[in-house]
Structure 1
Amino acid sequence: MNYLASETRYQNMPYRRLGRSGLKLPAISLGLWHNFGENRAYSTSRDMVLAAFDAGITHFDLANNYGPPPGAAESTFGRILAKDLKPYRDEIIVSSKAGWEMWPGPYGEWGSRKYLMASLDQSLQRMGLDYVDIFYSHRPDPDTPLEETMSALDAMVRQGKALYVGISSYTAEQTREASRILKELGTPCLIHQPSYSMFDRWIEGGLCDVLAGEGIGSIAFCPLAQGLLTSRYLNGVPLDSRAAAVDNPFLSTDKVEQRIAQINALNKVAEARGQTLAQMAIAWALLKVTSVIIGASQVAQIKENIIAVKNLEFSAAELQQIELILTT
């Protein structure tokens, strides 16, 4: 059966302007990080992408190394685009990135012009696209001059392979300098993608001020702190959870146990607001950033998280209560 997008897809999702640009993103975007590769049935990945689009999520966030294995998420998304979403391409924002290790040898990671340009060409081929809407430098390169990395981003726009460019995980000072270089080249920096959540607030130490001053939008990854800010760990660490996995580099049993009291206290605040903990965590992050990227392994998670947009307001008392929990 041919896919037909929901006629009500734009009724409930708010769309927010990125800095001083003409582009808007949905308040919630879908990231295709670790659940859209060969570890997931194609039908499940397809169901999640189409459910997201039907709910008003028009932005799909990818990178060259997303999978597993690296490249697989872009290939999966390319299949979905070709089969189902091709008629809606002009309604969709597709973003990709390069910066982390992708292929062997000295030209397969970081921020050289050679690596970034080759990576974008490969991403376009995997997704079957002529251009991406946003392309990011995925991380700052300590050894490559920032001018080289930014000039590569500028060249992508001039070649018509990317409409906009951005950066990810750059410090406040690196962001200010990257923005200056891109402005001089004539391709403004559209967006910054940092990690940000109730448990990871580093952007409040100066980056938010730089973004506001430079007119750059922002989109947060890991707004649920690798699942900590969900109901998953209210009663400890389930044996089948991400934290219990011995090979998980992002979340451990120790990290969960250190946060259990805070997680339960925050959950009580969320319940008083009529939200799940995950929904409140998303709403809270949206106080500081333009959009948040959610991950998912099933359609139900997407549908639950999207409900967050129904209550994005916080009273002063609620914010004070949350702050007390986070700083105690």
Structure 2
Amino acid sequence: MTYVPSKDRYEKMTYRRCGNSGLLLPEISLGLWHNFGHVDVYENCREMLQYAFDQGITHFDLANNYGPPPGSAEENFGKIMNQDFASLRDEMIISSKAGYTMWDGPYGDWGSRKYIIASCDQSLKRMGLEYVDIFYTHRPDPNTPVEETALALDQLVKQGKALYVGISNYKPDQTEAIEAIFRELKTPFIIHQPRYSMFDRWVEDGLLDTLKKLGKGSIVFSPLAQGMLTDRYLDGIPKDSRAAKDSGHLQQDAVTEEKIEKVRKLKVIAEERNQSISQLAVAWLLRHDVVTSVLLGASSVRQLEQNLIALENTSFTEDELDRIESILK
């Protein structure tokens, strides 16, 4: 069947300005890190993308190595773009990244000019696009001059392959260093993508203040701490969970009784707010005005639907915030 988007999709979502730029992003964006590769069910991927767009999610976040196998998330996304969204391209924000291992040899990793430009070309080819809206350096490279990485991203903009550029996983001092170069080049650097959740708050130690000072937006990933900020682990580690597989970013030894006890206490506050734990965790992140968007993954339409309910209540009383803080300490 031909996909026809919901006519009221933009009435369902709130959009936030990305720092001082002209770009607006939805409060929740869809990440294709997991569940969109060749190992996954294609029609399920397609249904999730259609549902997300129908809810006003206009931003879809990818990277060269997403899958598995690496590159397959972009390939699947490109097929779905061609099937369902070709006429809607100008209503979408599509991002990709380069910075982690993508191909063998000395040129398929980190932040060299060679790798970044080649990787962007490959990503565009896989997705069947002429340009991405945002292209990121996925992580700082300790062995490549920051000027080289910045100039490569600037070239992508000048070539029309990216409209904006971003950085991911950069610390405050690294952010200021590359921002100074972008400012001199007049590169449209607008966004930082850091990891941030109730269980991983490193951005509060200077990064959020730095982004606010520089007028940059942020889109935070792993908002549910790889599933720990849900009810999934309250009764042990399920056999089909990421922790049980011990093959991803969440290892079994990270699911400690101390963290699970914190989740149980957070669940009490969530239920008082008529929210699930995950909805509470997403809303808590959006309390920051420097957080432009929360990047959510999903394995099903149902899961995405449940997490979007978080947007119905993103305000907190001082008492609620104090109680949450006392649990997280």
- Using the size of structure 2 for normalisation, the TM-score is 0.98
SS at match of 2:166: strand
Letter paired with 1:221? F
Provide the C-alpha distance between the structure 1 equivalents of 2:66 and 2:228, rounded to a whole number of angstroms.
22
Provide the C-alpha distance between the structure 2 equivalents of 1:254 and 1:114, rounded to a whole number of angstroms.
37
Using the TM superposition, give the Cα deviation of residue 188 of structure 1 relative to its aligned residue in structure 2, in angstroms: 3.4
Alignment-derived partner of residue 262 in structure 1: 262
Residue 310 of structure 2, aligned match among 305, 308, 311: 308
Taking only the aligned residue pairs, the percentage that are identical comes to: 59
Aligned pairs for 1:94-173 (under 5 A) are 94-173=94-173
Residue by residue, what CA displacement relative to the aligned partner does 1:128-152 show, whole Å, maximum 9, x if unpaired? 0000000000000000000000001
SS at match of 2:173: helix
Farther off after superposition, 3-12 or 192-201? 3-12
The answer to whether the Cα contact below 8 Å between 1:236 and 1:256 also exists between their aligned partners in 2 is: no
SS at match of 2:142: coil
Farther off after superposition, 236-245 or 119-128? 236-245
Alignment-derived partner of residue 318 in structure 1: 320
Letter paired with 1:237? I
Provide the C-alpha distance between the structure 2 equivalents of 1:312 and 1:85, rounded to a whole number of angstroms.
30
Tell me whether 1:232 sits opposite 2:210 in the alignment.
Answer: no
The answer to whether the Cα contact below 8 Å between 2:63 and 2:96 also exists between their aligned partners in 1 is: yes
Tell me whether 1:294 sits opposite 2:285 in the alignment.
Answer: no
Farther off after superposition, 316-325 or 230-239? 230-239
Farther off after superposition, 252-261 or 265-274? 252-261
Provide the C-alpha distance between the structure 2 equivalents of 1:115 and 1:172, rounded to a whole number of angstroms.
24
Provide the C-alpha distance between the structure 1 equivalents of 2:238 and 2:42, rounded to a whole number of angstroms.
27
Aligned pairs for 1:246-257 (under 5 A) are 246-257=246-257
Letter paired with 2:298? A
Alignment-derived partner of residue 10 in structure 2: 10
Aligned pairs for 1:24-103 (under 5 A) are 24-103=24-103
Residue by residue, what CA displacement relative to the aligned partner does 1:80-121 show, whole Å, maximum 9, x if unpaired? 100001111111000000000000000000000010000000
Aligned pairs for 1:187-226 (under 5 A) are 187-226=187-226
Using the TM superposition, give the Cα deviation of residue 52 of structure 1 relative to its aligned residue in structure 2, in angstroms: 0.5
Residue by residue, what CA displacement relative to the aligned partner does 1:233-292 show, whole Å, maximum 9, x if unpaired? 122222222211233342325524331110000011000001111011001011231101
Residue by residue, what CA displacement relative to the aligned partner does 1:128-184 show, whole Å, maximum 9, x if unpaired? 000000000000000000000000111111110000000000000000111110010
Structure 1: 5+ residue stretches without partners: none
Provide the C-alpha distance between the structure 2 equivalents of 1:246 and 1:194, rounded to a whole number of angstroms.
23
Provide the C-alpha distance between the structure 2 equivalents of 1:252 and 1:237, rounded to a whole number of angstroms.
8
Letter paired with 1:308? A
Shift of the 325–129 alpha-carbon distance from structure 1 to 2, 3 Å rule, reads same
Provide the C-alpha distance between the structure 2 equivalents of 1:304 and 1:100, rounded to a whole number of angstroms.
31
Provide the C-alpha distance between the structure 1 equivalents of 2:89 and 2:257, rounded to a whole number of angstroms.
44
Provide the C-alpha distance between the structure 2 equivalents of 1:94 and 1:157, rounded to a whole number of angstroms.
14
Using the TM superposition, give the Cα deviation of residue 59 of structure 1 relative to its aligned residue in structure 2, in angstroms: 0.2
Provide the C-alpha distance between the structure 2 equivalents of 1:192 and 1:252, rounded to a whole number of angstroms.
29
Provide the C-alpha distance between the structure 2 equivalents of 1:137 and 1:256, rounded to a whole number of angstroms.
33
Letter paired with 1:291? S
SS at match of 1:144: coil
SS at match of 1:96: strand
Provide the C-alpha distance between the structure 2 equivalents of 1:146 and 1:14, rounded to a whole number of angstroms.
35
Letter paired with 2:42? Y
Moved over 2 A (4+): 246-251, 253-258
Residue by residue, what CA displacement relative to the aligned partner does 1:9-44 show, whole Å, maximum 9, x if unpaired? 111211000000000100000000121001211101
Letter paired with 2:33? W
Alignment-derived partner of residue 183 in structure 2: 183
Q: For the aligned residues, what is the CA RMSD?
A: 1.0
Using the TM superposition, give the Cα deviation of residue 293 of structure 1 relative to its aligned residue in structure 2, in angstroms: 0.6
SS at match of 2:102: coil
Provide the C-alpha distance between the structure 2 equivalents of 1:112 and 1:61, rounded to a whole number of angstroms.
22
The answer to whether the Cα contact below 8 Å between 1:31 and 1:293 also exists between their aligned partners in 2 is: yes
- Using the size of structure 1 for normalisation, the TM-score is 0.98
Structure 2: 5+ residue stretches without partners: none
Provide the C-alpha distance between the structure 2 equivalents of 1:254 and 1:195, rounded to a whole number of angstroms.
16
Letter paired with 2:83? K
